[in-house]
Amino acid sequence: KLDVVTFGEAMAMFMADRPGPLHEAGRFTLGLAGAEANVAIGLARLNVRTGWVSKVGKDAFGKFIMKRLKNESVDISRVRMDDKHPTGFQLKSKVKEGDPEVQYFRKGSAASRWVPGDFDKAYFLKARHLHMTGIPLAVSGSFRSFARQALAFMKENGKTVSFDPNLRPSLWPSVHEMIRQVNQSAFQCDWVLPGIREGAVLTGSDKPGEIADFYLEKGVKLVVVKLGEEGAYYKTASEEGTVSGFKVRKVVDTVGAGDGFAAGLISGLLEGLAIREAVIRANAMGALAVQSPGDHDGYPTKTELDDYLEKNGEPRK
Ligand code: ATP
């Protein structure tokens, strides 16, 4: 039995030890990158039983990824090792402020090659909920087909589906194509979680309420727009609101905040929390994530999260 299933590509990530441009970095620390893997780790730390479906190369990076996820108690029984194609990796610069520079080496990776037989219905049926992002849609045609199949199958079987656009313009032939393909999947999901900038690209409006309406009109049930340090805005057919973000002493690395946010929201909603409570939890996950260097290093255990919420009380007004 699983609570949540997700699928995506994970990569080995080399993080520069010192600030500066990427081509001048001499020393790196190895970490794990991948939006869906981050969400899986975030959920597992909150005691949500989560399976991550993927393909990795039969190489050191592939083994590293499997080991890390296993140590986090993520179910990796449906991860295939491919002996013909490599695991992708990425380089990430260190910055004193703002977003780091990231360079990908992922073309032709094991996770970009899928065949129809790879979709394991029985495994997906074990879960109550599917979490997906827009990245597999961008990685390759075969991964996009897999994603579409998984989404349709989970909806047919009455499961809930959450969707984080996670836009990667560099992986698409054009912005127009990206918007079309990402929205096509988003419209079929129950909960859509865009960042405010992504929402603007996808809907043509930079107003959270209008971004939400764009998806609600298509049948999406809940839209949560991430507002960075400002927190998040949520809207359904019957309620809406804004939840302020938590005060953070020092922002170390913003990558992974959105994934932590998704893990917090999904765990809260599956637990039966009211939407506002789930968004507070999601904000807390995001705030904890930005205070640590790796993508998911800052994600708390359930006890740590409860502790944080108790100590930090109502988020700032
Ligand atoms: P990502 O870079 O991971 O893709 P995103 O664009 O999807 O992020 P953000 O809005 O940047 O999402 O951040 C997600 C959530 O993390 C926010 O909604 C908020 O709850 C929390 N968060 C982000 N930055 C801060 C901050 N500086 N202070 C407090 N909370 C923050």
Phi/psi region, residue 212 (left: phi>0; alpha: psi -120 to 50; beta: rest), is: alpha
For residues 154-166, b (16+ Cβ closer than 10 Å) or e, as one string? beeeebbbbbbbb
Rounded to two decimals, the ipTM of the complex is: 0.95
Is the distance from the beta carbon of residue 251 to the nearest atom of ligand 1 less than 6 Å? yes
Cα 203–chain centre separation? 20
Strand partners, 11: 33
Is the distance from the beta carbon of residue 279 to the nearest atom of ligand 1 less than 6 Å? no
pLDDT, position 251: 86
Map residue 91 onto helix, strand or coil.
strand
| CA 91 to ligand 1 center in whole angstroms | 22
Is the distance from the beta carbon of residue 255 to the nearest atom of ligand 1 less than 6 Å? yes
For residues 33-54, b (16+ Cβ closer than 10 Å) or e, as one string? bbbbbbbbbbbbbbebbbbbbb
Phi and psi angles of residue 206, each rounded to the nearest 5 degrees, phi first: -105, 15
Is the distance from the beta carbon of residue 64 to the nearest atom of ligand 1 less than 6 Å? no
Q: Which one of 135, 198, 229 would you pick to mutate in the ligand 1 pocket, going by the greatest count of ligand atoms within 8 A of its CB?
A: 229
pLDDT, position 255: 79
pLDDT surpasses 60 at 317: no
Q: How far apart are the first and last CA of the chain?
A: 40
> pLDDT for 169-225, tens place per residue?
999 999 999 999 999 999 999 999 999 999 999 999 999 999 999 999 999 999 999
pLDDT, position 316: 52
The pLDDT-based confidence of 315 (bands split at 50, 70, 90) is low
> To 5 degrees, how large is the angle CA 148–CA 282–CA 199?
50
Average the pLDDT over each of 77-91, 216-230, 290-304 and give the range with the smallest value.
290-304
Long-range contacts of 211-214 (CB under 8 A, 24+ apart): 212/240
Percentage with pLDDT > 70 across the chain = 99
- Mean of the per-residue pLDDT values of the chain: 95
Is the distance from the beta carbon of residue 265 to the nearest atom of ligand 1 less than 6 Å? no
Of ligand 1's listed atoms, the one at least distance from the Cα of 194 is 7
| CA 125 to ligand 1 center in whole angstroms | 31
| CA 53 to ligand 1 center in whole angstroms | 25
Measuring from atom 10 of ligand 1, which residue has the nearest CA? 228
182 touches 210 (CB < 8 A): no
Distance CA 19, CA 93 (A): 7
Average the pLDDT over each of 8-12, 75-79, 248-252, 268-272 and give the range with the smallest value.
248-252
Is the distance from the beta carbon of residue 252 to the nearest atom of ligand 1 less than 6 Å? no
pLDDT, position 296: 83
| CA 131 to ligand 1 center in whole angstroms | 18
Of ligand 1's listed atoms, the one at least distance from the Cα of 254 is 2
Is the distance from the beta carbon of residue 140 to the nearest atom of ligand 1 less than 6 Å? no
Measuring from atom 1 of ligand 1, which residue has the nearest CA? 258
pLDDT surpasses 80 at 253: no
Is the distance from the beta carbon of residue 43 to the nearest atom of ligand 1 less than 6 Å? no
Phi and psi angles of residue 72, each rounded to the nearest 5 degrees, phi first: -90, 5
Q: What are the catalytic residues? A: 259
Measuring from atom 6 of ligand 1, which residue has the nearest CA? 195
